[in-house]
Amino acid sequence: MKKLILDTLFPISCLGCETHETWLCEKCFSTIEVPDRQICPLCENVLTPQGKVCTSCQKRQKSFLDCLIVAASYENSLIKQMIHALKYRFIENLAEPLAKLLLKSLLQNEIPLPDCIIPVPLHPRRLRWRGFNQSLLLAQKISEDLTPLMKIEILEILERRKYNRPQMEIKKYQDRLDNVKGIFRLKDEPRTTASQLWPPVVRGESPDLKNKIILLLDDIATTGATLEECARTLKEKGAKKIYAAVVARQTIKKYNF
């Protein structure tokens, strides 16, 4: 019923050129550039291999992320439209082209093969409203295609402790940091899988993360505070390396007091 209503209100057409019967045609998809270089996730000024933290930032600030790979520029209007349509028009099909961009960037940067993939979670309240977690959709696509003939396990083991404001609604840098401070934890109580997913999604009792290499996925980053909090939670449970990847990153003035 929801799909019928949405198709009636929003007929399917390419977000780029309005070609009918597809949300993104191959021609428009081919125009999206994946950067061939990454930058430090903290200062966003220094080019670094695989988006690792630069030497200067390592001296000034502790980071729980070992790298942050960004697949495309959020200034690209098509990227902005795709992410918005996925999250607020509930067009789940757009997760596939976004995941393709993410996969291309991951392969291009040659990160070590992760032991598992962990999507950044939504609060249950927001999940009920949207009907899906966009980060989990991306994780499923990446899990299937990152390495030939092998699906990487998805661990849906992080949860939000409270319902906080969306980061994009907050303008000041420090306020964004405060908004996500301490909001994540690992799930401890066993839970029943609500739907049949492939690759299998592990819910419930937290697995042993000791010495694990983890690929942490989200659709968009701004300050990177959400990813940092997720990484802190995972490393406190023994994770060895946290490689984060997002489709795009929004530029923000870090010292907008």
List pLDDT tens digits, range 189-244. Answer: 444 444 445 555 555 556 789 999 999 999 999 888 999 999 999 999 999 999 99
**Average pLDDT of the chain, as a whole number:** 86
Provide the CATH number for the domain formed by 32-249 in this structure: 3.40.50
pLDDT at 165: 65
What are the residue boundaries of the structural domains of the chain, listed by start? 32-249
Q: What is the pLDDT of residues 82-137, one digit of tens each?
A: 999 999 989 999 999 999 999 999 999 999 999 999 999 999 999 999 999 999 99
Average pLDDT over residues 133-158: 93
Residue 252 has pLDDT above 70, yes or no: no
pLDDT at 161: 83
Query: CA-CA distance, 28 to 137, in Å (whole number)?
Result: 22
pLDDT band, residue 146 (cuts 50/70/90)? very high
Taking the C-alpha atoms of 54, 55, 60 and 62 in order, what is their torsion angle to the nearest 10 degrees? 70
Indicate whether this model's pTM tops 0.75: yes
Average pLDDT over residues 2-10: 70
Where b means 16+ CB within 10 Å and e means fewer, 38-58 reads bbbbbebeeebebbbbbeebe
Strand, helix or coil at 60?
Answer: helix
Residue position matching structure tokens 């780029």: 16
- CA-to-CA separations, 24 to 27, 104, 107, 245, in angstroms, rounded: 8, 17, 22, 22
Q: What is the pLDDT of residues 18-75, one digit of tens each?
A: 888 889 999 999 999 999 999 999 999 999 999 999 999 999 888 999 999 999 999 9
Residue 205's Cα: distance from chain center in Å? 23
Helical (H) or strand (E) element with 142: helix 134-145
Task: Say if residue 208 is exposed, middle or buried (CB neighbours under 10 Å; 0-12, 13-18, 19+).
Answer: exposed
Which residues make beta-bridge pairs with 184?
A: 160
Residue 148 has pLDDT above 90, yes or no: no
Residue 257 has pLDDT above 60, yes or no: no
pLDDT at 143: 95
CB 32 within 8 A of CB 101: yes
- Sign for the CA dihedral angle at 228, 233, 106, 12 comes to negative
Is beta strand 201-202 parallel, antiparallel or unpaired with respect to 213-221? unpaired
